[in-house]
Chains A and B, each alone.
Chain A
Amino acid sequence: MTREEANRLLHAYIDGELDPAKSLELEAHLAENPSVRAACERLREMSTAIRDKADYHAAPAWLEARVRAAIPAGRKDASARPTRWKWLKPAGSFAMAADWLRPAASLAAVALVTWVVALGTMRPGEDERMTQEVLASHVRATLSNRSYDVASSDQHAVKPWLSARLAFSPPVADLSASDFDLVGGRLDYIGAQPVAVLVYKRRQHLIDVFVWPVEEQKAGKTLTRDGFNIEHFAKNGMGFWLVSDLNRGELEDLARLLAERSAAP
């Protein structure tokens, strides 16, 4: 990587927008070039200064009240729907072109509803359901070769990237001294909420650490499903699920380390 390219990529890097391969390349470059590293630090400082000190202009309460009042209560076209279902619909031109797919889509939707209702009546325990969801997420990420959205061994890059996209700030520990290397993070959707996934690596094993806020404390417990080991515990307001093909003993080590480091600094 040339110095010029490194300088150009610094912005995307501090913004958590650099793709995995380039991040690693840039980090290698930073390690060797103190002046580029210093530039990177100054950029971060500038970014932090703006976030901390620039005025955030919240709307005056009376303005929101006035605007709410100005919104007409009824409309001719009353088909506004929450958008979270939109993704279930084939997008744009595809939907138009493939009219013949519509009956099929309806059938699929009926099948889905049946399945959802069936699931509802079966009601596996909360933990069992979470276990299946995190395992599915881990397998999906491994199969699609997309284990992380942000690649970085720097917890100071991964944490803000995740915090910026979630309603909570997950604890991200640097455990490289214990031979668990942070390789990145991604977002996923577990138990009907967006969660953080930290990806650690030991030898060739990737370990997904799912983190989201919970209220209760839970002692560690180890499970095995389909050849994967799963660790679960909850501490300091965060629930942790670890999933990997790493052996049980080592996964327990990681769980212990994470539990020790989970307290907010």
Chain B
Amino acid sequence: MLATGSVLLHETDPVALHDTDPVPLHKPLSEPKRRFEQWVLPHFDAAYNLARWLTRNDHDAQDVVQEAVLRAYRFFDGLRGEAKPWLLSIVRNTFLTWLQINRPADTVGFDDGLIELIPTDEDGPEIQAARNLDRKMLNEAIAALPVQFREVLILRELEDLSYKDIARIADVPIGTVMSRLARARRLLAESLGPTANISGTQVHK
């Protein structure tokens, strides 16, 4: 309890504490690696999952994750709030850097452009429910989504993050997260064809 208090004091006013409290009650703050491992590395799988879905192959995902985690360690002091969205935002930024160097032609995908203006389709014929989807087809369809839709879908459905966290990671307003997610689900439904007709965004009467 005392240790807790002293961290708090130190946090609030390090200079004054130094003058008035020469006895460090807390453990020395010299174990950044241990703290980092404790706070950030529990999200290593999430980092890899995101990198893997962004790069779409194991080898590149490994490179991106390794670089991202080392970057995260350097910026560990900048961590505010929850570690998971913070780490994933670093993974995403590392991926963007990687993309610019390795696949410069693909970076246009992150430009929102006309996305929000694409008209929605009419309700197609209703056939099979999404629950009967083939696993392989589903994975391929997600992998084929444009990257800005793929990332919000993965963050929402596989990482179960809130819109707020996704907005922070993808560095866009929450409204954009919503429209990208809607678009992602619609594109997915379309590419999966009649086996999974969803029409959450259809507007016709």
Chain B proximity of A14: nearest CB distance (Å): 8
Contact present for B200 and A109 (CB under 8 Å): no
Q: Is A145 located at the chain interface by the 8 A CB criterion?
A: no
Contact present for B32 and A42 (CB under 8 Å): no
Query: What number of B residues sit within 8 Å (CB to CB) of A?
Result: 75
Contact present for B30 and A78 (CB under 8 Å): yes
Instruction: Name which residue of chain A comes closest to B82, CB basis.
Output: A83
Q: Is A120 located at the chain interface by the 8 A CB criterion?
A: yes
Contact present for B1 and A120 (CB under 8 Å): yes
Contact present for B66 and A63 (CB under 8 Å): yes
Contact present for A47 and B157 (CB under 8 Å): yes
CB contacts (< 8 Å) of B45 on chain A: these are 56, 58-59
Chain A proximity of B39: nearest CB distance (Å): 6
Q: A82 touches which one: B39, B73, B156 (CB < 8 A)?
A: B39
Q: Once the chains are docked, how many angstroms separate the CA of A203 from the CA of B29?
A: 54
Contact present for A3 and B205 (CB under 8 Å): yes
Q: Is A43 located at the chain interface by the 8 A CB criterion?
A: yes
Contact present for B35 and A85 (CB under 8 Å): no
Chain A proximity of B131: nearest CB distance (Å): 5
Q: How large is the interface on A (under 10, 10 to 19, 20 to 34, 35 or more residues)?
A: 35 or more
CB contacts (< 8 Å) of A58 on chain B: these are 45, 48-49
Chain B proximity of A67: nearest CB distance (Å): 5
CB contacts (< 8 Å) of B9 on chain A: these are 106, 109-110, 113
A1-45: which have CB < 8 Å to B?
A: 3-4, 7-8, 10-12, 15, 17, 38-40, 42-43, 45
Chain A proximity of B124: nearest CB distance (Å): 11
Q: Is A70 located at the chain interface by the 8 A CB criterion?
A: yes
A71-113 CB mask vs B (1 if < 8 Å, else 0) is 1111101111111011011000000000000110110011011
A80/B76 contact (C-beta < 8 A), A70-B70, A106-B13, A109-B5 known = yes
Contact present for B33 and A105 (CB under 8 Å): no
B40-59 CB mask vs A (1 if < 8 Å, else 0) is 01001101110011000000
Contact present for B201 and A8 (CB under 8 Å): yes
Chain B proximity of A153: nearest CB distance (Å): 21
Contact present for B203 and A78 (CB under 8 Å): no
Contact present for A59 and B138 (CB under 8 Å): no
Q: A67 touches which one: B66, B126, B129, B185 (CB < 8 A)?
A: B66
Q: Is A219 located at the chain interface by the 8 A CB criterion?
A: no
Q: Is B139 located at the chain interface by the 8 A CB criterion?
A: yes
Q: Is B148 located at the chain interface by the 8 A CB criterion?
A: no
Residues of A within 8 A of B (CB): 3-4, 7-8, 10-12, 15, 17, 38-40, 42-43, 45-51, 53-60, 63-64, 66-68, 70-75, 77-83, 85-86, 88-89, 102-103, 105-106, 109-110, 112-113, 116-117, 120, 164-165
A-B contact pairs, 11 of them (CB 8 A): A10-B200, A15-B181, A17-B163, A42-B199, A45-B131, A50-B157, A57-B52, A67-B70, A80-B77, A89-B12, A102-B16
Given contacts A71-B70, A89-B11, A164-B162, 4 further A-B contacts (CB under 8 A): A8-B182, A11-B185, A78-B29, A79-B29
